[in-house]
């Protein structure tokens, strides 16, 4: 596999165009002011846009991103962007991290050094990993698919091809959000290569076998399924749109950076842990770096369409089917409806289950040290 070194360098014309659009923003009226009950409040969005327009420095964000060694390679017929950092220890085991929506590889920037050089990043006593962080097809600087069918199963095959091409014939896999379904598919399809899994989220497409001869639902499982359905009814509208008519929404988001920011940042607030103020939960520059990647790629349609592709092929398991590589799971308190352990034990060999004191859906961004420690302790069981 041929890899090419990649450096982020957004064309100046694109920056000028973004600035012009931000200056021409029209804001919606709002009944609830600073309350998020109807979505992102106009007052909060105005503050975000004001900072984006007047203070955010994309070139500084680029410099930070470019501190990480990045590459592109043809994988599965698409040009895939990925970060690849060698571990400091000799023969460091390989680890592939997969992001989701509305995130990107930028979520992992504070996590990566804690994995590749733990001793110099606050985690002494752990062995380093050689870390690969690909951008999902159509996200950031990965080429967007031009035909239907690129779902998590297809991406899992692409990631396995990538790891094999990099010389990693055996590797660990970690993921959240869409990255969890990709990682599960990798373990399902390539059990001889995946040494173990670490997840901080279980995909909504995960469907373990139910009914005889499987055991009945436990009270915790029944309660969780009810809670999940309730969450989908009250918070899952975005997912239904993504899974049914992603192209219609994409037309709006690809033409409006502020609309795109609202669609993305509302999820970062709703699914994260911390104070009620968005700016207390996240570094605004990091949020805007992530949003800007979505904007500059102009491939928002492909990022939304991943939901529709996955809905067409969920992670459904037959009676008696099990995942061979062991699973370690980190349950963060503000995650989207955490499953009970026994729900995962229907398919997985759960080797480690951790319940963390703080954090939400974006664990790599919210709690990089906590997640890094969990990964080290989990995969250390298999080294």
Active site residues per annotation: 177, 307, 361
CA gap 178, 182 in Å, rounded: 6
Q: What residue spans of the chain are helical by DSSP H? A: 12-23, 42-54, 58-66, 112-116, 152-165, 178-189, 219-235, 237-244, 246-253, 257-270, 278-281, 284-297, 300-312, 341-344, 363-366, 368-379
Helix axes 300-312 and 284-297, enclosed angle (nearest 10): 90
Helix axes 58-66 and 284-297, enclosed angle (nearest 10): 90
DSSP 318-366: -TT----S-EEEEE-TBSSSPPPHHHHTTTS-EEEEEE-SS-BS-HHHH
Radius of gyration of the chain (CA): 20
CA gap 269, 264 in Å, rounded: 9
């Amino acid at each position: 596999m041929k890899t090419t070194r990649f450096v982020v360098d957004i064309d100046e014309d694109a920056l000028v165009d973004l600035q012009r659009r931000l200056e021409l923003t029209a804001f919606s009226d709002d009944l609830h002011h600073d309350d998020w009950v109807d979505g992102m409040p106009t007052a909060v969005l105005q503050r975000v846009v004001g900072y984006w327009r007047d203070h955010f420095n994309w070139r500084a964000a680029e410099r930070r991103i470019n501190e990480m060694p990045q590459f592109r390679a043809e994988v599965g017929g698409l040009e895939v962007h990925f970060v690849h950092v060698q571990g400091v220890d000799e023969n460091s085991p390989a680890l592939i991290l997969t992001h989701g929506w509305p995130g990107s590889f930028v979520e992992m920037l504070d996590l990566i050094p804690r994995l590749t050089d733990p001793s110099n990043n606050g985690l002494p006593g752990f062995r380093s990993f050689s870390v690969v962080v690909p951008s999902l097809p159509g996200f950031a600087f990965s080429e967007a698919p031009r035909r239907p069918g690129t779902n998590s199963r297809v991406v899992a095959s692409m990631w396995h091809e990538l790891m094999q091409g990099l010389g990693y014939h055996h590797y660990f896999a970690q993921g959240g959000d869409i990255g969890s379904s990709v990682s599960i598919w990798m373990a399902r399809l390539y059990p001889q290569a995946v040494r173990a899994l670490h997840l901080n989220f279980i995909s909504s497409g995960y469907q373990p076998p139910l009914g005889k001869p499987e055991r009945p639902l436990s009270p915790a499982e029944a309660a969780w399924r009810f809670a999940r359905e309730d969450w989908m009814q009250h918070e899952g509208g975005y997912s239904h749109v993504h899974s049914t008519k992603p192209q219609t929404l994409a037309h709006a988001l690809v033409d409006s950076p502020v609309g795109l920011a609202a669609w993305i940042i509302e999820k970062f607030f709703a699914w994260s842990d911390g104070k009620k103020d968005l700016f207390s939960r996240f570094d605004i520059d990091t949020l805007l770096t992530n949003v800007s990647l979505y904007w500059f790629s102009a491939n928002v349609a492909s990022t939304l369409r991943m939901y529709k592709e996955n809905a067409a092929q969920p992670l459904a398991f037959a009676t008696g089917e099990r995942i061979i590589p062991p699973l370690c799971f980190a349950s963060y308190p503000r995650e989207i409806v955490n499953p009970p352990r026994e729900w995962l034990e229907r398919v997985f060999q759960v080797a480690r289950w951790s319940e963390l004191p703080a954090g939400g859906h974006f664990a790599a961004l919210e709690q990089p040290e906590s997640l890094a420690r969990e990964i080290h302790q989990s995969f250390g069981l298999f080294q």
